[in-house]
Structure 1
Amino acid sequence: MQGVGITSIGAYIPYYFMDRKTIGEAWGIKGMKGSKSIASVDEDSVTMSVEAALECLRYGNRNEIDGLYFASTTAPYSEKSHATLVSTVCDLNKDIFVADFNSSLRCATSALKAGYSEVLSGNSRAVLVTSADNRNAYPKSQQEQIFGDGAAAVTIGSKEVLATIDHVFSCQNEIHDIWRNQDDLYVRNAESRFAIDEGYNQSVEYAFHKILEKANLSVSDINKVILPTPGMKENIKLAKSLGLMDEQIQDTFVLSIGVLGAAQPLTMLVDAIEHAQVGDKLMLISYGNGADAFIFTVTEHINKVKGGNSVQKYLDNRSEFKEYGRFLSYRGVLEAVPGDDYKIPSSTAQTWREQEAYLKLYGSKCENCGTQVFPISRVCIHCGSKDEFVKVNKSEEITKLFTYSIDYLAGRSDDPVIVQSISEDANGTRFYLNMTDFNKEKIEIDMELEFTFRKMHNLGNFVNYYWKVRPIRRKRV
């Protein structure tokens, strides 16, 4: 009997990146090597988690998902379920268990361990774990150049398992090395040598030896070790001291996307699985006031995702962000001059009532003539039949741009260019939505677009989300 393990994977890296030299030049200091990914003004941990989760769901049957765990240290709400929001956007069943994991940088692996236990016990057929972070660091600090934004997701189940979870180990370590108080905008950290030696190194090394002992394996038995890092190369130094060879150390992507916080362990795991061979043993150790360690064995089902390059495909399709001042405004560090207010007030009741359109992107299909429209319409625009329709989820459709306008003054003062688009899918359904993640010089009629879930505004004192379109970025399955 095949064991419980990872059955599908997904990752997401934002469209924009900033060269670390740009940050250094803004402060008259030397920039570090490489670049960092940065979330756009309409992205947060929820929208990025949705991106990773939807990519993960393209590999399997969402009707078998009995649980969704959302993991982040930068979730937008202090009191509200984010897992419920993400599961609704992903169009999962209503009768599933959802939970938020937060506060710790290993919250994603805590969720992974909880999901594994849930499936192993037989209480759930499959659990989706999605993680994302977009942490702020003090301006001019090293962390400002190191921190990046992104998301990753995995499904844990027992059918067509890509990599079985063979052994799990956890330990705790009470220390103030990296932390953020409730009202803090920036991450705080202790003196670096103390934080690394007594926090990261101590916990990861302890977990490394303990899980090898538990599994009765030696260092040479592990094909790839996934060691998320708090900085540029702390994982390399630790790996060498543990006796690991270069080929055993998984790429952290720190040089291209930065340290992704809670999302870093699963992002690295996704890439490791996609490049593994049948029979490979993978080890993942995540740090955050202690450590979570896992040992996986790759199965023959790896061919389903092998060579998928989930992370690299996003890195191959992104755009450099060169304006440091706008970056600070996007992060809420600087307040740019306010633009015109939205003219339509926001209502929690209306948002709840219209969530099938706002959150799930549901349209309707006439059962009489087959015409499809968005949003849901009780009366068919073609044959006039009333209340004879079925709901259809449009979020996975590819559309073609029918017409558009570019307005250079309609947006926020720090993001003034708004592209309004009308696009049409293969069923003839038209969508009037804003475009995001675009190069305005490359917009053209009939270009292919995909839907992406984004943050619109905060009217009504809550985050208002909706769908936009963007040029194709996600990989096809």
Structure 2
Amino acid sequence: MRGILGWGVHLPYRRLDLATVAAVAGSGGGKGTRGIASYDEDTTTMAVAAARAALLGVSGPAAAASPATATATTPTPTPIKTLWFCTTAPAYQDRTNATAVHAALRLPRATAAYDATGAVRSAVGVLDAALSGAGSHLVVTSDLRTGRPGGADEAAGGDAAAALLVGDGTAAAPVLAELVGHAAATEEFLDRWRTPGDLASKTWEERFGETRYATVGTEAWNALLAATGLRPEAVDVLLVAGTHERAARSVLKKTGVPAERLHDPFVRTLGNAGAAQPALLLASALENARPGQTIALLVLADGADAFLWRTTDALATHTGPTPTVADQIAQGALLPYGRYLAWRGFLPVEPPRRPEPARTSASAAARATAWKFALVGSQNTDPQHGSKQTESQHTDSQHPEPHHPVHLPPSPFDTAPHPAADAEGTVVTFTIDRLAYSPSPPVVFAVVDFDGGGRLPIELTDVDPAEVAIGLRVQATFRRLSSADGVHNYFWKARPVRPVRGLPPGPEGIR
């Protein structure tokens, strides 16, 4: 039995209120919100967040709760043969973006890492290849969806990432949703395109695309029903993904599945995440599914792909990753439209009057890959070392000194790695710097004591300066610090640990 072993989703914290668009752009916008990746997020950083959630959801919190005994690689119940990274907006061209995700996950060197970029359908193709192959594969999809200010793509798009772990299943990682069947239809027609370097896509007259997608979508759907022997009314959950909204609505009517069984919680909350949308919908559906249900996924992108899944009994005891998709939808803060335009490069603004960051060193990064990409510190496990407090180790009544001191960053004199990316921490002091270089000032910098040991000065993100306080609980998040000469400097920041709540208004002071 081959299918999905686990999933993970990352939804950005920031949202754009579409009702505010027309006042600035003169047109466009609409009802609801859309997801906005932060200025320090790109498709690589969001992919890391989704993939980490997927692996943690499969391995369970126990694997992350004992960092002192962790090895140089992330513990998983099933060896991962291949990591696939799919996006239409890669941070790099002419080099593999998946290797940064691989490093952040601490996967073994024997795990291959490949990109599948350029088109929305590439993500579906990789999923089909992973399901058709042998062994376990991690399919990570991530996308930044942009459009001209006031345009339809701006309002309909959304930034997000989703990851699916695919394989045959084991006792430790059973199949949660078995693949029952897959059918595809391909046709060459010009509907949507974007040349390299363009910030926004172009589209042909939408009635033309609707006609072509209605044909290929119905063809793929009917082929799936014929291959599986399933009647439309037997489908419990229907998922339809595609960047052509009119075509999606048209094909939905032709499936024969009752309209109330369509599952799409991202309409007017997050938007359409392009290459990430199929996996995003599937993850959300699995989060709400019961054992024995049938889930159909129809993807319209340069043709059509139709998948049919059946959930297994293992889903009943699967806790899944946290926070859930529903939790992430409920969380978030609004972003002013002008700030969004500046972050995406549509509105040139005065740059910080400070020296720009220098290009990060490739050789220095290679020497510190585990620390830079996976936040792996060090710990001295020598029994003779004792528990003498060091300058980098803080203790108080709430965080007693461990027997073996932890160092963040790692010390060359320690004897064991100490992964800290899964640990939460507490802010012990902080500063708000309005003079330091940043594309989104002010910079909020804090000193954090991490649970399990280790104190680290670290920048905060996804935070309003007014909410920062001593005692604030935070968690590590992989972000982009800066870019210079086309080289992206990735490292870790910290973001607040937030309870589930409704979408609050967003103040101007935003990180």
Per the normalisation by structure 1, the TM-score is 0.92
Q: Match for 2:405 among 354, 362, 371?
A: 371
The answer to whether 1:195 aligns with 2:209 is yes
Change (3 A) 1:280 1:47: same
**Contact 1:228–1:286, Cα closer than 8 Å, also in 2:** yes
Match of 2:161 in 1: 151
Match of 1:128 in 2: 138
The answer to whether 1:212 aligns with 2:225 is yes
Offset of 1:357 from its aligned partner? 1.1
Match of 2:39 in 1: 41
- The SS at the match of 2:57 is coil
**Contact 1:15–1:319, Cα closer than 8 Å, also in 2:** yes
Alpha-carbon distance between aligned partners in 1 of 2:486 and 2:48, rounded to the nearest angstrom: 22
Match of 2:49 in 1: 51
Offset of 1:23 from its aligned partner? 1.2
Alpha-carbon distance between aligned partners in 1 of 2:422 and 2:499, rounded to the nearest angstrom: 11
Change (3 A) 1:233 1:32: farther
Alpha-carbon distance between aligned partners in 1 of 2:347 and 2:487, rounded to the nearest angstrom: 21
Alpha-carbon distance between aligned partners in 2 of 1:166 and 1:392, rounded to the nearest angstrom: 42
Alpha-carbon distance between aligned partners in 1 of 2:161 and 2:321, rounded to the nearest angstrom: 19
**Contact 2:359–2:483, Cα closer than 8 Å, also in 1:** no
The answer to whether 1:79 aligns with 2:113 is no
The answer to whether 1:274 aligns with 2:287 is yes
Output the aligned Cα RMSD.
1.9
* Higher alpha-carbon deviation: 93-102 or 68-77: 93-102
**Contact 2:28–2:151, Cα closer than 8 Å, also in 1:** no
Deviations 1:45-92 (A, max 9, x none): 001111110000112244422211101000111111111111111111
Match of 1:23 in 2: 21
Offset of 1:135 from its aligned partner? 2.3
Match of 2:330 in 1: 316
Q: Match for 2:452 among 411, 421, 427?
A: 427
**Contact 2:99–2:113, Cα closer than 8 Å, also in 1:** yes
Alpha-carbon distance between aligned partners in 2 of 1:110 and 1:176, rounded to the nearest angstrom: 19
**Contact 2:104–2:373, Cα closer than 8 Å, also in 1:** yes
**Contact 2:359–2:487, Cα closer than 8 Å, also in 1:** no
Offset of 1:118 from its aligned partner? 2.1
Match of 1:384 in 2: none
Q: Match for 1:115 among 112, 122, 130?
A: 130
Aligned amino acid, residue 443 of structure 2:
I
Match of 1:32 in 2: 30
**Contact 2:44–2:142, Cα closer than 8 Å, also in 1:** yes
> What runs of 5+ residues in structure 2 fail to find an aligned partner?
60-74, 387-403, 501-511
Alpha-carbon distance between aligned partners in 2 of 1:19 and 1:320, rounded to the nearest angstrom: 7
Change (3 A) 1:441 1:193: same
Q: Match for 2:200 among 161, 186, 194?
A: 186
> What runs of 5+ residues in structure 1 fail to find an aligned partner?
380-387
Alpha-carbon distance between aligned partners in 2 of 1:114 and 1:103, rounded to the nearest angstrom: 17
Offset of 1:316 from its aligned partner? 1.7
Alpha-carbon distance between aligned partners in 2 of 1:294 and 1:354, rounded to the nearest angstrom: 42
* Higher alpha-carbon deviation: 254-263 or 228-237: 228-237
Change (3 A) 1:191 1:197: same
Match of 2:461 in 1: 436
Alpha-carbon distance between aligned partners in 1 of 2:345 and 2:216, rounded to the nearest angstrom: 34
Match of 1:453 in 2: 478
Aligned amino acid, residue 376 of structure 1:
P
Alpha-carbon distance between aligned partners in 1 of 2:131 and 2:98, rounded to the nearest angstrom: 17
Alpha-carbon distance between aligned partners in 1 of 2:323 and 2:254, rounded to the nearest angstrom: 29
Per the normalisation by structure 2, the TM-score is 0.86
Alpha-carbon distance between aligned partners in 1 of 2:436 and 2:85, rounded to the nearest angstrom: 34
Offset of 1:145 from its aligned partner? 1.1
Aligned amino acid, residue 371 of structure 1:
P
Query: How many correspondences in the alignment?
Result: 457
Deviations 1:98-134 (A, max 9, x none): 2211222122221111111223xxxx2x111110100
- The SS at the match of 1:10 is strand
Match of 1:362 in 2: 376
Offset of 1:176 from its aligned partner? 1.0
- The SS at the match of 1:58 is helix
Match of 2:427 in 1: 401
Change (3 A) 1:308 1:364: closer
- The SS at the match of 1:451 is strand
Alpha-carbon distance between aligned partners in 2 of 1:294 and 1:309, rounded to the nearest angstrom: 26
**Contact 2:106–2:370, Cα closer than 8 Å, also in 1:** no
Change (3 A) 1:307 1:422: closer
Offset of 1:473 from its aligned partner? 5.0
Alpha-carbon distance between aligned partners in 1 of 2:80 and 2:477, rounded to the nearest angstrom: 22
Structure 1 runs (4+) greater than 6 angstroms displaced: 306-309
